[in-house]
Amino acid sequence: MRQRVDATTPACSDEIPYVTRELEPIREKVLNGRRLSREDGLVLFQAQDVLGLGSLARWYARRRHGPCVYYVVNGHINYSNYCTLACAFCSFYRRKGKDPRPGGFELSVDEVLHQADEIARSGATEIHGVGALHPEFPFRYYVDLLRAIRQRHPRVGLKFFTAVEIYHIGKVGGLSPREALLALQEAGLDTLPGGGAEILDDGVRSVICAGKETSAEWLALHRTAHQLGIRSNATMLYGHIETLAQRVDHMLRLRELQDDTGGFLAFVPLSYHPVNNVLKVEHGPGAIDELRTHAIARLMLDNFAHVKAYWVTLTIPVAQIALAYGASDFDGTVLQEKVHHMAGARSPQALSVADLQRLICEAGGEPVERDHLYRRIRRGGGALDWRVA
């Protein structure tokens, strides 16, 4: 499963990216295919030359993917927001029976299936399903949910449950994380979303998500998934109390695991939204910080195929510009997202395929529809008329 730089991808720009003097040594390393160090990452986070950084990251992304920018027709299902944890950054969760705030919900398997039907009818090739650590759902619920969707929609990729949910589901079923993953895989699980990574630093975690699995546990779960052939994403929640060094270290820990397994598909930076939660941070990251973070991720994570510009958290204009800062995946149509909209995201509820294609073209990219495994999708006339190319 080891991933490699795709040497067959056509180089699309031979132009040497222009950078000011402070970034010249790093440019030399990037142009010569040498891995960036922790110190390089810190230099990049402090560099004045944000445009130079962006052009270097864009050059690197184009060397790997040519002009291709990937998108997916997908929808989100949140099966519940009742949670046994109370992460300070999270605006999504509610405590069942104990929360004075309105907005708690839990869906039956039939209700989840109904949402899956609607998403599949729209022509989706992927369903992204996350919830919370529900205090009462039995192990069967999770297996039945996947099996029901898998039976009704055998071709749709099921990207379900963060690492933290997998630990919870395993505990509920009296299973080890590996056994839980195997049972879920047997029921239809294809890939894991990258959530729950937050910042892979246990000091930061003890403030922003006390009680959640440790950094090592998050990484261990993804390692196990990769060993079972379940590929996954990795997120980073940034722009709250973490330091820039902790962001670099987060990337390095992911890079190390990817060297071992090659199982990660994409890195997804998630900019922090400070509304409706108790973490005392006045504002999330600004656009320059967001663009810088995407570009640095592109350069540091040399063994990840894609950095995702997740327009839901970035806003559409910043996500579009992130395509000039090394991102090569615009995510998707994203029907029915809740986690970030409840935290104050002001982006729309969904984008049409025509919008995604237009935004990518306008940024100088060539839109390529992908599925949950980044395989190209070819479409015929109707919404359901699609196949892996």
3-state secondary structure of 314: helix
Query: Per CB under 6 A, which of residues 117..156 are in contact with ligand V47?
Result: 130
Q: How far is the CB of 34 from ligand V47 (least distance, A)?
A: 29
Question: Which part of the chain contacts ligand V47 (CB under 6 A), choosing from 9-17, 39-47, 194-202, 361-369?
Answer: 194-202
Rounded CA separation 75/330 (Å): 14
What is the length of the chain?
389
Both ends of the chain: CA-CA distance in Å?
Answer: 21
Of 195, 263, 285, 367, the one binding ligand V47 by CB under 6 A: 195
Residue 75 in contact with ligand V47, rule: CB under 6 A: no
3-state secondary structure of 273: coil
Query: Would you say 55 or 261 has its CB closer to ligand V47?
Result: 261
Question: Which part of the chain contacts ligand V47 (CB under 6 A), choosing from 4-12, 18-26, 65-73, 193-201?
Answer: 193-201
Question: Which part of the chain contacts ligand V47 (CB under 6 A), choosing from 1-9, 107-115, 229-237, 347-355?
Answer: 229-237
Query: Would you say 89 or 141 has its CB closer to ligand V47?
Result: 89
Rounded CA separation 287/292 (Å): 8
For residue 329, the cross-strand partners are 70, 308
3-state secondary structure of 223: helix
Q: Where are the alpha helices (DSSP H) in 100-211?
A: 109-121, 139-152, 163-173, 177-187, 202-208
Q: How far is the CB of 59 from ligand V47 (least distance, A)?
A: 25
The closest of 8, 10, 5, 9 to 30, measured between CA atoms, is: 5
Residue 237 in contact with ligand V47, rule: CB under 6 A: yes
> x/- binding map, residues 253-292, to ligand V47, per CB under 6 A?
---------------x-x-xx---x---------------
Rounded CA separation 80/115 (Å): 13
Q: How far is the CB of 107 from ligand V47 (least distance, A)?
A: 17
Q: Binders of ligand V47: how many residues, by CB under 6 A?
A: 24
Residue 225 in contact with ligand V47, rule: CB under 6 A: no
Query: Per CB under 6 A, which of residues 309..348 are in contact with ligand V47?
Result: 310, 313, 339-340, 343
Q: How far is the CB of 73 from ligand V47 (least distance, A)?
A: 14
Nearest-CB residue for ligand V47: 195
For residue 331, is it left (φ>0), alpha (ψ between -120 and 50) or beta?
Answer: left
For residue 369, the cross-strand partners are 71
The closest of 156, 159, 175 to 167, measured between CA atoms, is: 175
Residues of this chain that bind ligand V47 (CB under 6 A): 89-92, 130, 162, 193-196, 198, 233, 235, 237, 268, 270, 272-273, 277, 310, 313, 339-340, 343
